């Protein structure tokens, strides 16, 4: 079963992750913005090549999970990192408030329907982790889920959901899904600056919601929820990475490098053609070399 590569941003597997120790800014020796953008271009080229081999080999899939506070940069990071990947081999799923149909199923159902097939990359912009993050901060949302029973101590419910998530992800990993999970860790000060930018700059007004400001009052509760969720579910086959998100070029580069390094770990390669198939290729070449006319006798059009 796949196990992830090391990274300074990887959340430890021992349950001792602490949000207070997680960086929101790049380290002092980090490359500058222009260097980050330059290196990102190289990563995008590598990712494009690796995605083609992933598709051709057709034995693994890649699931990327993004979680963050509002304005941390999930959408722009997904767009920047995946900009060079063939869209035919990639799918992005955004999970917002669940529908009535989704509420009639268990909390993993709606995301399980969007899992990537072998050979493809699937991206979850928010995910089943919302059920131990926003629902934990707002337990009143549980009423709409009509659960058969809710423990008096909700900590037992969250622990049960952590266990379900761990089992779900281990099952996926055993069956060839590489799971990489990114928490984009933005500071409250930087989030405030980005919200103000959305208010002040007309072309960003559409991004702003008054509810985003209201959720800021629950910042400490969200940080407690993230701390517990990441500590409980970071595993070698489904690691979390706590990426500093106050500097977007640096954040995007870190995400891209982690994806590339983990795909390289799979040892991907284009399938080799056997002797019998090569002999058949030779036969097909003889037929193709026999003339340049189309099947109806007209001149060939030189199509691709």
Question: What pLDDT does residue 55 have?
Answer: 97
Starting at the earlier edge strand, list the strands of the sheet with 61-68: 90-94, 121-125, 61-68, 177-185, 240-244
Q: What is the pLDDT of residues 239-282, one digit of tens each?
A: 999 999 999 999 999 999 999 999 999 999 999 888 888 888 88
* Residue predicted with more confidence, 119 or 295: 119
Report CA dihedral (216, 220, 221, 225) to the nearest 10 degrees: 110
Enumerate the domain spans of the chain. Answer: 19-273
Residue 107 sits at φ, ψ, to 5 deg, of -70, -10
Q: What is the pLDDT of residues 1-51, one digit of tens each?
A: 999 999 999 999 999 999 999 999 999 999 999 999 999 999 999 999 999
- Alpha-carbon distance of 152 to 7, in angstroms, equals 39
| CA distances (Å), origin 47, targets 27, 81, 273 | 25, 9, 24
Instruction: Give the fold, CATH level 3, of 19-273.
Output: Rossmann fold (3.40.50)
CB proximity list for 236: less than 8 A, separation 6 or greater: 3, 4, 13
In sequence order, the β-bridge partners of residue 242 are 183
In sequence order, the β-bridge partners of residue 91 are 122
End-to-end CA distance of the chain: 40
Question: What pLDDT does residue 301 have?
Answer: 43
The answer on pLDDT for 210 being more than 60 is yes
- Alpha-carbon distance of 264 to 287, in angstroms, equals 39
DSSP 8-state secondary structure symbol assigned to residue 70: T
CB proximity list for 67: less than 8 A, separation 6 or greater: 74, 126, 127, 129, 130, 133, 181, 182, 183, 184, 226
């Amino acid at each position: 079963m796949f196990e992830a590569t090391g990274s300074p941003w990887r959340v430890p597997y021992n349950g001792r992750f602490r949000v207070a120790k997680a960086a929101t800014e790049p380290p002092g020796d980090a490359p500058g913005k222009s260097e980050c953008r330059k290196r990102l271009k190289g990563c995008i080229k590598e990712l494009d090549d690796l995605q083609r081999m992933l598709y051709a080999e057709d034995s693994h899939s890649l699931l990327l999970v993004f979680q963050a506070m509002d304005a941390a940069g999930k959408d722009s990071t997904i767009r920047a990192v995946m900009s060079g990947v063939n869209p035919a081999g990639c799918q992005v799923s955004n999970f917002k408030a669940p529908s009535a149909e989704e509420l009639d199923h268990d909390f993993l159902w709606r995301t399980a329907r969007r899992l990537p097939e072998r050979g493809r990359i699937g991206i979850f912009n928010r995910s089943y982790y919302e059920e131990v993050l926003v629902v934990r901060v707002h337990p009143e949302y549980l009423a709409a889920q009509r659960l058969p029973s809710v423990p008096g101590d909700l900590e037992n419910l969250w622990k049960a959901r952590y266990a379900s998530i761990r089992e779900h992800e281990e099952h996926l990993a055993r069956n060839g899904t590489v799971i990489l999970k990114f928490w984009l860790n933005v500071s409250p000060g930087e989030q405030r600056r980005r919200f103000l930018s959305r208010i002040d700059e007309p072309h960003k007004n559409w991004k702003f919601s008054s509810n985003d400001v209201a959720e800021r009052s629950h910042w400490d509760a969200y940080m407690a929820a993230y701390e517990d969720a990441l500590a409980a579910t970071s595993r070698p086959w489904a690691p979390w990475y706590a990426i500093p998100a106050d500097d977007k070029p640096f954040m995007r580069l870190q995400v891209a490098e982690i994806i590339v390094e983990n795909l390289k770990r799979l040892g991907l390669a284009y399938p080799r053609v056997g002797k019998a198939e090569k002999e058949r290729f030779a036969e097909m070449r003889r037929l193709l070399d026999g003339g340049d006319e189309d099947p109806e006798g007209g001149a060939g059009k030189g199509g691709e």
